[in-house]
């Protein structure tokens, strides 16, 4: 299965943001940071007119400014991600295998889900012990207050993951793999992916999710698996976490010791899934595009 690639435009075209090229040349750490910042900046720029229009339409319909802002935030989520991707793809190309799907990827999808679940469960559980966790979680929830659930699900559960994988795995990690060892490239891209989420609990959870998604992309050189895993992760977060309004996983267990033991079980699931992934996939595909260096 393949999709047409975005052709790279002339590098001499004027561009005030000076997007670093990703045409197969070295992609250094600052290039990745700059790409992440541009990704955020474009979303902010898009949010301004959308918010103004949303508030204006709401007030014209007799609604309050607050209601208008809530709907504007939903529209911003849905529109800002694709616009940011479009903007960055004007100067970047995805890998030739970015949309490749192989028969064994069905099996890899299953073990990837288990791998992500195991890591996310442990990280999320440990975060509940962090000082000020409840306040941080409420701050996270407040970001989505008033946004219609269906808009939130579509924008945050589907559009966001697709766009973020194109940028942070398809562009940033792909570029890093041409300059650094696979370990460094995955860690650097995960750090940038985590930091752009701002809220501490999101920064940490996104970093570890970025490690898993980066590993999957590195091993397959395809965006399909990271995108599907990212979508499943976000959809579950929105439908289970935000709808129930509860951040306390411990409440599902009879006592603390059983809860802590569940971490070990989740780590075991993640380890088995990792070994299964290695066995099914074999060596990383198309390794010739990676720098031959060690950690």
Whether residue 30 is contained in a domain is answered as: no
**Tens digits of per-residue pLDDT, 86-143?**
999 998 989 888 999 988 999 999 999 999 999 999 998 888 888 888 887 777 777 7
Residue 255: pLDDT band by 50, 70, 90 thresholds?
confident
Whether residue 172 is contained in a domain is answered as: yes
Whether residue 232 is contained in a domain is answered as: yes
Residue 25: pLDDT band by 50, 70, 90 thresholds?
low
Whether residue 176 is contained in a domain is answered as: yes
Q: Which residues pair with 22 in a beta bridge?
A: 92
Closest CA to 175 of 294, 41, 80, 33: 33
- Give me the domain span that covers residue 122: 96-283
Residue 2: pLDDT band by 50, 70, 90 thresholds?
very low
The mean pLDDT value for 65-70 works out to 70
Contacts of residue 31, defined as CB under 8 A and 6 or more positions apart, other chains included, come to 20, 22, 175
Whether residue 60 is contained in a domain is answered as: no
CA distances in angstroms from 18 to 15, 81, 176, 235, listed in the order given: 5, 19, 18, 34
Is the per-residue pLDDT at 27 higher than 50?
A: yes
Q: How does DSSP classify residue 8? A: P
- pLDDT of 243 reads 47
Give the predicted TM-score (pTM) of the model: 0.84
First-to-last alpha carbon distance for the chain, in angstroms, is: 33
Residue 53: pLDDT band by 50, 70, 90 thresholds?
confident
**Count of residues for the chain?**
295
**Tens digits of per-residue pLDDT, 3-20?**
444 444 444 444 555 555
Is the per-residue pLDDT at 292 higher than 70?
A: no
Whether residue 85 is contained in a domain is answered as: no
Phi, psi of 252 (to 5 degrees): -85, -5
Helix (H) or strand (E) holding 218: helix 200-220
Whether residue 106 is contained in a domain is answered as: yes
User: What is the C-alpha to C-alpha distance for residues 101 and 79, in angstroms, rounded to an integer?
Assistant: 28
Q: How many domains does the chain divide into?
A: 1
Determine contact, residues 20/31, Cβ cutoff 8 Å: yes
**Tens digits of per-residue pLDDT, 217-234?**
999 999 999 999 999 999
Whether residue 200 is contained in a domain is answered as: yes
């Amino acid at each position: 299965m393949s999709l047409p690639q975005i052709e790279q435009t002339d590098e001499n075209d004027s561009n005030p943001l000076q997007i670093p090229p990703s045409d197969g040349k070295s992609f250094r750490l600052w290039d990745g940071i700059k790409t992440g910042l541009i990704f955020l900046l474009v979303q902010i720029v898009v949010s301004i007119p959308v918010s103004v229009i949303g508030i204006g339409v709401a007030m014209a319909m007799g609604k309050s400014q607050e209601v208008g802002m809530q709907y504007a935030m939903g529209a911003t989520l849905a529109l800002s991600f694709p616009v940011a991707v479009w903007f960055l793809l004007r100067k970047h190309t995805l890998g030739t295998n970015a949309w490749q799907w192989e028969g064994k990827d069905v099996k890899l999808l299953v073990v990837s889900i288990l791998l992500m679940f195991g890591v996310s469960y442990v990280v999320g559980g440990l975060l509940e012990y962090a000082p000020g966790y409840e306040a941080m979680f409420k701050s996270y929830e407040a970001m989505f207050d008033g946004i219609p659930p269906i808009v939130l699900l579509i924008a945050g559960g589907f559009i966001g993951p697709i766009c973020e994988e194109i940028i942070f795995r398809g562009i940033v990690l792909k570029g890093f793999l041409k300059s650094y060892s696979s370990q460094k490239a995955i860690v650097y891209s995960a750090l940038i992916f985590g930091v752009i989420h701002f809220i501490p609990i999101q920064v940490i959870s996104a970093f570890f999710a970025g490690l898993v998604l980066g590993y999957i992309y590195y091993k397959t050189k395809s965006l399909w698996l990271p995108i599907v895993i990212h979508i499943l992760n976000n959809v579950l977060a929105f439908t289970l976490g935000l709808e129930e309004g509860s951040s306390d996983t411990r409440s599902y267990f009879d006592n603390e010791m059983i809860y802590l033991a569940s971490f070990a079980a989740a780590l075991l699931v993640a380890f088995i899934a990792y070994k299964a992934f290695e066995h099914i996939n074999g060596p990383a595909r198309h390794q010739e595009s990676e720098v031959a260096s060690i950690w």
